[in-house]
Structure 1
Amino acid sequence: MAIRKGALALATALAAALLTVASPHTASADPVNIRIGWSTMPGHLIPVLYSKPDILKHYGKSYTVEPIRFRGSSPQITAMAANEIDMAAFGPLVLALAVNNARLDVKVVADIIQDGVDGYHSETFLVRADSGIDKIEDMKGKRIGTNAIGSASDTAIRAMFRAKGMRDKRDFTMVEVAFPNIPPMIDEGKLDLGTVLQPMSKQLIASGKYKVLFTSKDAMGPSQLVFLTANGKFLEANRTALMDFFEDHVRAVRWFTDPKNRTEAVKIIADFMQQSPDTLTHLFTKEDYFRDPFMIPNVKAIQESIDIAVELGLSPTGITVDPNYVDLSFVEEAKRRIEAGAQ
């Protein structure tokens, strides 16, 4: 199930340090604790966004955050159904499954990362350069590593192979493997192809030992790869505090992605990941995923991805995302506050 990250004790300590300052937007004396699911760093950013008190106006006053790590998007459905998290990092298919299968009351509330937008990075699916695999058809009888069945990258894999008339179990075998374990399993010959995230993707390609067989953009076009989804009842019960949260959340993402803060931002992320900043040279460049400047998700792209998933047979039925499963009022209010403060 979920792995609660002890490294986030820093964020908890910051909450205590900030409690002495009053907030004009505080809904109650006790801050609302927001439990947020995430699965990958540095892509999702969630575990580090609340680590700089000078860019957070409301942390520890009207809200606190408890990031909780998962292997992918789909395991977060179970966690939300069990009331273990209030927000989740979902992919499009997972949203449809949460609504149709788990009967969850969920709303798309913010962008996390978008794939293949305006020349930005697209998720890569790698094979060994000496594998003899040069096209999708060469994958017949091979093994593919996927982080979680139903995740955004899993859907892209199936879309690409379905376009070539190839299907799981008949033409190839899908193996669920955590993202960090996919590259060594390809190297050891236990997998033939897998999703490899940045920065590892860039490093492996540069080594000359690996090559890109296809990207998510090749399979599905530009897409809303991952987005923040929230429990609808939680949103309504804590609307005032969550307006504060999203103002800080958007401010934090904007700080991390601002070129003038890049050196410090990369160091914060590198320290969290226990890596050298030199391994994260792709961050916040065109080699990274696109993030909307005000965290407004591409709802149209979410709908298109769900429609593709239904065509692939990954979900028996789709959903109409807008207006039934979207609430952009929080990021819209965050944008209003931030732009008003800049004047």
Structure 2
Amino acid sequence: MARMNEEGRVMRNYDRRLAIGMVAALGIALSSVGVAQAEPVRIRAGWANMPHHMIPVLFSKPEILKHYGKTYVVEPVQFRGSSAQIPALAAKQLDVGVSAASAFALAVNNANVEMKVLADVIQDGVEGYGSDAFLVRKDSGIETVKDLRGKRIGTNGIGSFTDTVQRVMYMKAGLKPEDYTMVEASFANMPTMIAENKLDLVPTIQPFRDQMMATGNYKILYDQGDAMGPTNGTFLAGRAEFINENKQAMYDFMEDYVRASRWFHDPKNRDEVLTIISTFMKQPKESLSSTFTKADYYRDPYMIPNVPNIQKVIDVPNELGLSDVKLKLEPNYVATEYVEEAKRRIEANP
């Protein structure tokens, strides 16, 4: 009997040690899961042009950000234009990006990527602010849009916002797509190409427009406002699947996106802002004199997108027969609750 009691005590001690060991192991496992969950979400963000898109430098001031490195980090990825992002979005190699309406619609309709409009980037053609300008050489003999028949026209990417604006302008002037030749090139390379007579017209963004106009060799044939009026030319968009899987990180990302945008647009920070941008672009600060002034594009103070003016960029080419792409943005393809929550947070805690 004593032997059985001793064996029982041994077994009970063994069971107790086993239970303690299992609890400890479970605690370590749960702790490991907690550490994994605490890792900041990596947000791969597409962009094309600086200083307009700002993604590469927007998160460079950690002291003005509330959540960077805690709940999320940003990995900027450069593309020639928004349409070039579509394969990366479809392959889930990109999470958010600066988009144009035409590229957004193509991603949804052709690449079967469920997308959401998230926030403003730049708005073109807004009264009192700058607009994309389309330049020709003064000695080209081109006086009106109709004179572009048979000419070589630069575009930063087929299907981009700029490309869409051009085609709308030419259709309104009675030119069909077969009446001119579109040549893809980066904005940075176009000034050289028109100077070397490889292009007859180029779309320009700052600082290249001011640099070209300063030579006295070019003139503005038309601007984006002439073609379509006010538009939300480019905006921040994201994959719905990624957004839904990372809602808290996206709320925090958007708060920092808006906070940083407001800091960069604040006149009292202008000298430091231009230093940051010029260093990144490897351009002299003097070449950025119009950046974030009334000569630049309009941006909403809280980066809330103008959805009707995005919708316009999809509808107008379709109505003119330039595109068969149709997409009604609201309500299924818009998720402005993130930027609206960012506004509420910032107003409550500036």
TM-score, scaled to structure 2: 0.88
- The answer on whether the counterparts of 1:91 and 1:227 sit within 8 Å (CA) in structure 2 is yes
1:97 — aligned with what? 106
Matched residue, 1:308: 316
Structure 2 contact 168–322 (Cα < 8 Å) conserved: no
Q: How high is the TM-score relative to the length of structure 1? A: 0.90
| Contact map agreement 1:35 1:86 (CA 8 A) in 2 | yes
The yes-or-no answer on 1:30 pairing with 2:39 is yes
Structure 2 residue corresponding to 1:227, chosen from 221, 224, 235: 235
Where does residue 292 of structure 2 map in the other structure? 284
Tell me how far 1:27 sits from its aligned partner.
11
Separation in structure 2 between the aligned mates of residue 241 and residue 77 of structure 1, nearest angstrom? 23
Structure 1 position 123, deviation (Å):
0.4
CA distance in 2: counterparts of 1:142 and 1:160, whole angstroms? 15
Kindly state the Cα deviation for residue 205 of structure 1 after the two structures are TM-superposed: 1.4
**1:178 is aligned with what amino acid?**
S
* TM-fit CA distance, 1:312: 3.8
Q: In the alignment, which of 173, 178, 189 is matched to residue 181 of structure 1?
A: 189
**Higher mean displacement: 246-255 or 313-322:** 313-322
User: Is 1:254–2:254 an aligned residue pair?
Assistant: no
Q: Which amino acid aligns with 2:55?
A: I
1:305 partner amino acid: V
1:270 aligned to which of 278, 296, 301 = 278
- 1:70 partner letter: F
**Structure 1: segments with no counterpart, 5+ residues:** 1-25
> Which residue in the other structure is 1:46 paired with?
55
Q: Which amino acid aligns with 2:208?
A: M
CA distance in 2, matches of 1:153, 1:313: 18
Summarize the alignment of residues 200-211 of structure 1 with structure 2, pairs less than 5 Å apart. Answer: 200-211=208-219
What's the counterpart of residue 336 of structure 2?
A: 328
Report what 1:20 is aligned to. none
Task: Give the whole-Å Cα distance in 2 for the aligned partners of 1:159 and 1:317.
Answer: 14
Q: Indicate the residue corresponding to 2:91 in structure 1.
A: 82
Q: Hey, what's the Cα distance between the residues in 2 that align with 1:212 and 1:155?
A: 18
Once the two structures are overlaid, the 10-residue window that deviates more, 174-183 or 295-304, is: 174-183
C-alpha distance in 2, partners of 1:269/1:317?
36
More helix by share: 2
* Conserved? CA contact 1:27–1:241, under 8 Å: no
1:314 & 1:36 partners in 2: Cα distance?
Answer: 30
| Structure 1 stretch displaced more, 150-159 or 197-206 | 197-206
* Structure 2: distance between partners of 1:27 and 1:108: 29
- Tell me if structure 2 keeps the 8 A contact 1:27–1:240: no
Equivalent position to 1:55, from 64, 79, 87: 64
Greater mean alpha carbon deviation, residues 106-115 or residues 93-102: 93-102
Q: Which residue of 2 aligns with 1:196?
A: 204
Backbone CA RMSD of aligned residues: 1.3
The alpha-carbon deviation at position 118 of structure 1 amounts to 2.5
Q: How far apart, in 2, do the equivalents of 1:63 and 1:27 lie?
A: 13
- Aligned amino acid, residue 272 of structure 1: F
Give the residue type in structure 2 aligned to 1:204: M
Residue 179 of structure 1 aligns to a residue in which SS?
coil
Aligned counterparts of 2:323 and 2:69: Cα–Cα separation in 1: 40
Specify the SS of the correspondent of 1:285: coil
Q: Which whole-Å CA distance do the structure 2 matches of 1:174 and 1:148 have between them? A: 9
Determine what percentage of the aligned residue pairs are the same residue: 55
In structure 2, the CA distance between the partners of 1:103 and 1:314, relative to structure 1 (3 Å rule), is farther
> Is the CA contact (8 Å cut-off) linking 1:303 and 1:320 kept in structure 2?
yes
Give the whole-Å Cα distance in 2 for the aligned partners of 1:239 and 1:261.
31
Q: Corresponding residue for 1:69?
A: 78
Q: 1:153 aligns with which of 148, 152, 162?
A: 162
**Superposition misfits of 4+ residues, deviation over 4 angstroms:** none
